[in-house]
């Protein structure tokens, strides 16, 4: 069986580590890489869309990043207990017409003993913003360690 460290039960330190690893993966915008963090039988609710299985999650991510261009994400640990983690997040992106958005949301995650995510429930709201309102400025990929997080922005 695949093992994705850290594994449950989570401490404050390992939950925060799991959140940062997820943020880093999603900021790669690589559907294959991201999908490997999920169990083969993972179940998602993303907004009003229901997704079952790792392959369906990968296909969802391919569609997502073909539509949400120049995507930059920040996640923050909200709470954790046992095999569950709750996060809040914000990300910025633009559509193919050049309209920028900041999307805000919360996710509830549940993991199996191998540290693979079995359930992901995401609630997300999009807010159109002007390009001048953007806050997330770093090169494609991992958010630099010295870049402010959500709390620093008051999000």
Instruction: Give 11-26 pLDDT, tens digit per residue.
Output: 999 999 999 999 999 9
Token pair belonging to 36: 């490997």
Reported pTM: 0.97
- Rounded Cα distance between 35 and 42, Å, is 10
Which residues of the chain have a pLDDT value below 70?
A: none
Residue ranges of domains in the chain: 12-136+145-153
Given a contact cutoff of 8 angstroms between Cβ atoms, the answer to whether 117 and 42 are in contact is yes
Topology (CATH level 3) of domain 12-136+145-153:
Nuclear Transport Factor 2; Chain: A, (3.10.450)
């Amino acid at each position: 069986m695949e093992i994705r460290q850290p594994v449950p039960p989570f401490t404050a330190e390992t939950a925060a580590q799991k959140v940062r690893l997820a943020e880093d993966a999603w900021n790669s915008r690589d559907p294959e890489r991201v999908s490997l963090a999920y169990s083969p039988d993972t179940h998602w609710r993303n907004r009003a869309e229901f997704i079952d299985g790792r392959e369906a999650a990968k296909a969802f991510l391919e569609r997502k990043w073909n539509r949400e261009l120049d995507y930059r994400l920040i996640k923050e640990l909200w709470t954790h207990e046992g095999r569950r983690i709750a996060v809040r997040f914000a990300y910025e992106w633009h559509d193919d017409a050049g309209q920028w958005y900041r999307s805000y949301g919360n996710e509830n995650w549940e993991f199996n003993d191998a540290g693979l995510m079995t359930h992901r429930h995401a609630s997300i709201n999009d807010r159109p913003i002007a390009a001048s309102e953007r806050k997330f400025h770093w090169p494609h990929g991992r958010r630099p360690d010295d870049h402010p997080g959500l709390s620093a922005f008051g999000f």
